[in-house]
Structure 1
Amino acid sequence: MSKVTFLGGGSFGTALAILLAKKNNIVSIYDRSINVVNDININRKNDKFIKNLTILEEVTAFNDIEEAVKDADYVVLAVPSHVIRSVSKQLKGKIPDNIPIISIAKGIEEHTDKRLSVVIKEELDNPVVILSGPSHAEEVALELPTALVASSEKMEYASEVQNLFMTSSFRVYTNDDIIGVEIGGAIKNIIALAAGVLDGIGYGDNTKAALMTRGMKEISRVGIHLGGKAETFYGLTGMGDLIVTCTSMHSRNRRAGLLIGQGLSVDKVLDEVGMVVEGVKACKAFYELKEKINISMPITDMLYKVLFEDKNPKQGVEELMLRDKKSEIF
């Protein structure tokens, strides 16, 4: 039995907290919203982020981060990518250096282009494990069969996390390619957002299949350039995550893209979705990165123009289709 603290009371963190509580672990959730904390502790629910669930008594919510992490054996960063650094700074001095930090966020840091594990390591001396893969919170909470990947620079900690989370419905693999795991999980949000735009325009299965396939090429091209292994991108954190986020209405990125494709502005879409849409931030971050490293990311490039330069989505698709002829392999 372990004590596990989740920093962030969002949907995926809550689903994983329930999973660990059912394995007889002691689970704490820190959230900055007192309403979320009270909903968990009093009503045994978290209706702001994930409805129709009962949260076990083994899960306790806190509005104070120091209280939440007291005596923790593991700390899970269950916050959006853009606050990973600030939350890591908050942790400094509050936990021993040997406590593994598990990150379930997907993205890279804007402006620095750093992977999230690097960001965490710059703020903390703790071992860092990335837990990633095709995993909608709604399905994890219902104990539908799900598979993820745990990765770390120190693989003994990835194995610990594998053991911590494994159940009959939640399978965890290990992969020592932490660069590939993080890059695959980040770029797929961009492609999923683009897939939603296509759905909003009204295109069909042919179009989405083309987008996902060329999106996979974009993910692997950039990932390999940054030091990831090709085989990682055809695994759970690449292809697996791409499939689930491009095809499911559980996906915030796809839902947001759908509304953008129907003509809503990005600001209105983000208000309507009501939660962080990682693909928007990832698109901006990888657009900046591709300019620095001079690598081709045509889908990201066009989506950036739709999101931030008022490009008409349908015109953007036409321009992608009419680019210079080339071989599929390159």
Structure 2
Amino acid sequence: MSEFVKIVEVGPRDGLQNEKTPLTLDDRRQLILDLMQTGLQAIEVGSCVSAKWVPQMADSDVLFAGLPKDPNIQFSLLTPNLKGFESALAVGCKEVAVFTAASESFTRKNINCSIDESFEKFSDVMREAKAHNIRVRGYVSCMVDCPYEGAIDPQQVAKVSQRLLDMGCYEVSLGETIGTATPDRVKKVWDACLAELDTTVLAGHFHNTYGMAIANIYQSLLQGIRVFDSSIAGLGGCPYAKGASGNVSTEDLYYLLSNMGYETGIQLDALMQASRNISNVLQRNNPSNYANAYWQKACA
């Protein structure tokens, strides 16, 4: 039997929150309904944050509440504070996510606090999540480079990851936030983390600014990582990193994994239809190499 690699679809949240074209709640719902047809087992629906600061994520709790439930799909919401967690809890969300960074400068620019203060902010979330049997996933930005500080010490990444796990996160996703990494540097980060942590509690989240995301994922696979975040049609970017393009596309990640013999559970036709649909809604070109090759072949 082929080894399974889990794909966490972050397009509806991490992707759309940085897209310039605002979508209606119906548009966002249709994207998730399309993704539900693909065989993906984990979909990040949105973020319970102030619409004033992230208008693209307005009413994420309402969106979550209106989705048909599927026992084979784990839906999640990003909840950076207790107020956000309470909104998620009220609509029956069973998994939330919290985030920090391995860079002090990035944390201050992103969420207006230090790394230590970020942990204080979501300590209440962790406590309430435990009380209500809600799973918590952690995000760590800037696993390799920070747009303000430059290179990040791999030991710092390992330290922050360990703190999240100690607080109760079941998994920590390390974000290569600005897409500047190369496989040799990614290897050093995983080496530092894996000296202390098991592969089963770590995930990779790679951006494709310089076209290195797939190469970096390949390196991660070699080191035993078996969970990766990706975004349909390469949606997203980083608002705090000038020029940073979107997350690695789910289509390109699927192509890599399936052709290397890994099982993903994804239904290709449904994935490509979801990709085409959201690209049409946003009226943007799809940056996925695989998607472009797929449709060129289909139309030939």
TM-score w.r.t. structure 2 length?
Answer: 0.33
The higher radius of gyration belongs to 1
- Which has the bigger relative contact order, CA under 8 A and spacing at least 6? 2
Structure 1 or 2: more helix by fraction: 1
TM-score normalised by length of structure 1 = 0.31
- The structure with the greater share of residues assigned to strand is 2
